[in-house]
Homo-oligomer: A and B are copies of this chain.
Amino acid sequence: MSSSAHHVAYFPLEDLPTAEVDRLEEVYAGLAGAVRDLVDVTLSTAATEELLEEARAAVDSVTAALRVRQSEGPLGVRHNGHGRTWSWGNAVIGPRNATAPPLEVVGPDEDGRVTAEVVLGPAHQDEPGVLHPGAAVKLLDHLMGVTAADRRRLTMTGTLRIAHHRPTPLGPVSLAGWISGEEGSKVFVHAELSAADGVTVEADGVFVIPRWARD
């Protein structure tokens, strides 16, 4: 199901002023950002085994402290009734999800283009220095869902066709997607992932507006 479903399907209201949502997001994103750095150094460290074991114990104690109080159920997507929405846990865009880059999806702009710029590090590696092709598709899938939803409807991912032209080097990449056509309840989306030297992955998707969401 496309992440675009977020914007309509499951959308609880939380009565928080926008400024407070922004402040809380900064707190959670700060912790998740620190965890992202830890994920990266866990891949690159050449520390002694003694230090590795100490680090593991320290991480376990932080985890234990944070576990004492946990919120029930998934984070989902929330809104505050004043136009502020947040999807903190999402595997692609969630600022609170240390496995998410996180992707900041922008648009659609006046030309209908939805874009994102992100720097992908070693956590997204396949071969040395190369972005995992599945990781590329994961980001494209999400951006295409947002593109299909077009800020105004629920769509579900139907089929995707992915063409890997060549390996994508780790580092800065950009994504762009746009609606290439519509036909009844179907929305056709084209998207590309590009490295510094051009497009490396292209995707065409068919998204469907479910019957129950058409009115």
Q: Which residues of A contact B (CB under 8 A)?
A: 1-3, 5-6, 9-10, 27-28, 30-32, 34-35, 37-39, 41-49, 51-56, 58-63, 65-71, 73-77, 88-92, 94, 96-99, 122-130, 132-135, 137-142, 145, 156-164, 166-167
Chain B residues contacting A44 (CB-CB under 8 Å) are: 67, 70-71
Chain B residues contacting A32 (CB-CB under 8 Å) are: 42
Task: Name the CB-closest residue of B to A143.
Answer: B134
Chain B residues contacting A34 (CB-CB under 8 Å) are: 56, 59-60, 63
B132 A142 Cβ-Cβ under 8 A: yes
Chain B residues contacting A45 (CB-CB under 8 Å) are: 66-67, 69-71
A52 B28 Cβ-Cβ under 8 A: yes
A162 B164 Cβ-Cβ under 8 A: no
Q: Give the shortest distance, in Å, between A158 (CB) and chain B (any CB).
A: 7
A41 B56 Cβ-Cβ under 8 A: no
Can you identify 8 A-B contacts, CB atoms within 8 angstroms?
A: A6-B126, A6-B127, A35-B39, A37-B60, A39-B99, A92-B126, A92-B132, A134-B138
A63 B37 Cβ-Cβ under 8 A: yes
A90 B156 Cβ-Cβ under 8 A: no
A67 B92 Cβ-Cβ under 8 A: no
Chain B residues contacting A130 (CB-CB under 8 Å) are: 1
Q: Give the shortest distance, in Å, between A99 (CB) and chain B (any CB).
A: 4
Of B37, B125, B145, B161, the residue contacting A74 (CB under 8 A) is: B125
B128 A99 Cβ-Cβ under 8 A: no
A35 B27 Cβ-Cβ under 8 A: no
Task: Name the CB-closest residue of B to A142.
Answer: B134
A123 B97 Cβ-Cβ under 8 A: yes
Chain B residues contacting A66 (CB-CB under 8 Å) are: 38, 41-42, 45, 47, 51-52, 55
- Given A38-B59, A41-B63, A127-B77, the answer on whether A91 and B134 have CB atoms closer than 8 Å is yes
> In whole angstroms, how far apart are the Cα atoms of A108 and B126 in the complex?
20
Chain B residues contacting A97 (CB-CB under 8 Å) are: 39, 42-43, 123, 125
